[in-house]
Amino acid sequence: MSSPQQQQQSSTSSSLSSGSGSGKDKEDDGKQEQSSTSSNKTKTSKTPKTKSKSILPPPSRTRLVTIVAHVDHGKTTLADNLIESNGIISERLAGSVRYMDSLAEEQRRGITMRASSIGLRHSWGVPKNGHHQRRRRRGGNGGEKKGGGGEKGKENKGEKGEKDVRDLVIHLLDSPGHVDFSPEVTASLLLSDTALLVVDAVEGLCARTHSILRESYAARLVPILIVNKVDRLCGVAGGGGGMGLNEAEGYLRLRGLIESVNA
C-alpha cells in the first residue's frame, strides 16, 4: 500500500512529464511550420516574373503621317489604297468606299470634314552590308579600307544581299481639304512627323496648296510630294477631263509642277 504523499508525488511527476512532452510537440510543430514557410518562400522567389508586352512597337518604330491637299485632289482615295495594302479593305472597294470618312454627312457630301486616323503596319528591309556601313568601315585604319582582307573580306561577301527586316506602325491621318475646316489640318500638322502633299497633275498648285505648304514649313515638316491623276495629262481633252498632251508635253508639265512646289 502506498501512502497519500507518494501518490501525490507520482501524479505531479506524471503531469510534469506530460507537460514537457506537449512542449516538445509544440516546438516540433513550430519548426515544421517555419521550414514549410521557408520552402514556400524559396519556391516563390525562384519563379520568374513575367512582364506584360505591348501590342504596339516602341515609339522609335512609330510614325505619325498626315495627308494634306487641296479639295478634290485625291487625299481620301490615296488613304483607301494605303489601307488596302494592309488587307483591311478589298482592292475592288479601294477609292470608292471612302473608309476614313466615318460621318454620314461626309459620305453624303463626298468631302472630308473631320480629321480621322488609322494604324497601318509597314515592313521595310535595311541592307546588312549597306553603303553606309562600308563607308563606316573605311573611316578606320588604312588596313581596313578595302574590307580588311582575309576573314573580314569573306564575311562581307557572305553578308552581301541580306537584309534586316524591320516593322513600323504608321498612324495615318486623313485631313480635310476644304478651307472651312482648316483648323483640323493645322492640328494634324502639329501632331505629325511628316506630311504627304497630294497635288493634282492637271490643276496644279491651288490657293489651299500654298497655304498648306506654309503651315508645313511653320511646323518644321518637310512634305513628301505625291502627284496624283497623272493619267489625265494624256487623256482626251474636253468631256473626258484630260489635257490631251503627248509624252514630251506631259514631262514638261510634271517638271514645272515639281519646280513650283520646291520654289
* pLDDT tens readout for residues 122-172: 887 777 665 555 455 554 444 444 444 444 444 444 445 566 777 888 899
Q: What is the mean pLDDT of residues 68-88?
A: 88
Residues 6+ apart with CB under 8 A from 254: 201, 227, 230, 233
More confident residue, 38 or 167: 167
With a cut of 90, say whether residue 47 has pLDDT above it: no
**pLDDT on residue 154:** 42
pTM: 0.63
Of the listed ranges 5-9, 56-60, 143-147, 167-171, the one predicted with least confidence: 143-147
Given a contact cutoff of 8 angstroms between Cβ atoms, the answer to whether 80 and 99 are in contact is: yes
- Please choose, from the candidates 12, 8, 32, the residue with its C-alpha nearest in 3D space to the C-alpha of residue 20: 12
